[in-house]
Amino acid sequence: MATMNAPTIDRRQMPERRVALREGRGSVMSALDYIAMALLIIGGLNWGMIGISGIDVVASVFGADSAGSRLVYTLVGLAALYSIYLAAKMASTRRL
């Protein structure tokens, strides 16, 4: 019975699971992921301010219908599209 709990040779030679997962993927989030998340937070806070108080912060900072505000809105929209792609990619990966 004492040999029942002893580790087998195969088990001792297997790399630790957490280390193997991190080595294959690198960082959990890339720089593009962080940028997209920041833009989504900016867009969400802006829409929250519009809903609560009717103040469009982006238009207040850059001017209504200016090139700067259109650029910010476009970047937020692209970040949302990228996040849809990222969510689909994350959903399709096999969980261990």
Chain segment 36-73, per-residue pLDDT in tens: 999 999 999 999 999 999 999 999 999 999 999 999 99
Give residue 91's pLDDT. 87
Give residue 16's pLDDT. 58
Give residue 28's pLDDT. 79
Q: pTM of the predicted model, to two decimals?
A: 0.66
Distance CA 91, CA 78 (A): 20
Enumerate residues 6+ apart whose C-beta is below 8 A from 33: 86
